[in-house]
Amino acid sequence: MSKLFTQANVGSVALDNRIVIAPMCQYSAEAGKATAWHRIHLGNLALSGAGLLIIEATAVEAQGRISPQDLGLWDDETQQALRVVLDDIRHYSPIKVGIQLGHAGRKASVSAPWLGGKQLSPEEGGWQTISASVMPYDPGERPPREMSQQDLQRVKQRFVDSARRAVALGIDVIEIHAAHGYLLHQFLSPLSNQRTDEYGGSLENRLRFTLEVFSAVREAVPSSVAVGIRISATDWVDGGWDLEQSAVLTKKIEAAGGDYVHVSSGGLSPLQSIKVSAGYQVPFAKALRQQTSMSVIAVGLITEPQHAEDILQHGEADLIALARGALYDPRWPWHAAAALHGAVHVAPQYRRAEPHGVKGTVK
């Protein structure tokens, strides 16, 4: 039997299979509120047959958006707009739904990628960014403001408030975004954290804010909701955040009640040097899986069903995530089921589409 199509548990959340649709920013919200695009986009992915669909990076406050068009979950209006999307999904799909909660920090206030992805001036609708230290992502950008103790407490509470809103929406999984150079990653990496207080300097200090945020969220939501973290296992820059430090963080997240770690890499510095190839991040997942009993999600150019299956069979990860691959082929789980003799939940409206040569791939 294909392991990819066996059931799995993430914390107390049971998944129908081990395929995860990873969070992917859409830059299509209005003042943080989900739009018709999200109903189309997430509705489409909800019919993919994957075991878990994680909603894109969702800002816990307006200042934490990457772009002015980022999705948010910080007030009643943003919560209600997302509820409309989730109600539609649940009417037609049994897929488990997660949400990634994040804050962009110094990488906030930029335009959408197809508009250049550059930092926006106040005249263009941009805003003052915040970070661990007064160091911009790119030397040519306006520097962020170093977060005060009051900022730290406010942002931590914003994560908690957004997590509670997610629970009220019936979200199954909450993922804390500490990867790709965004705010929590900015505290973790010595390249971006030059603080001299208890939140900077030593590894213990650089871990502090991320662990405080994670612990506060875990304590604020019921055990029936799985809570995990997404990390960049390395900055791909000498002297930066690396796998050894990621292992320490992973162990501490587990001790704080974490249910999984979603292993990506990079995004903190424009100096990163990455040699991209199929499954190039899987070795990080494998290394961290040896350090934890939490579920480990591997991601990064895993495009072929047999490759995904081999990763699981070799014990390198517990679940497989797709991002761009799912956009390119929203029926990837169904196609993988055909290739690996598995089966996925398919909407009855689509069951007639099952090819004659691969009967038995639908539930």
- Give me the active site residues, please: 182
Alpha helices in the chain (DSSP H): 36-46, 76-92, 149-168, 183-188, 203-220, 243-255, 282-289, 305-313, 324-328, 332-340
Pairing of strands 96-102, 173-178: parallel
> DSSP state, 148?
P
- The closest alpha carbon to 335, from 312, 353, 315, belongs to 353
- Determine the Cα–Cα distance for residues 169 and 171; give it in Å rounded to an integer: 6
Residue 322 three-state SS? strand
C-alpha 19 chain-centroid distance: 14
Let me know how long the chain is: 363
CB 285 within 8 Å of CB 298: yes
- Determine the Cα–Cα distance for residues 312 and 99; give it in Å rounded to an integer: 24
- Determine the Cα–Cα distance for residues 309 and 144; give it in Å rounded to an integer: 43
- Determine the Cα–Cα distance for residues 241 and 189; give it in Å rounded to an integer: 5
Q: Identify residue 239 by its one-letter amino acid code.
A: G
Residue 193 three-state SS? coil
- The closest alpha carbon to 232, from 177, 276, 275, 306, belongs to 177
CB atoms within 10 A of CB 37: 15
- Determine the Cα–Cα distance for residues 293 and 45; give it in Å rounded to an integer: 29
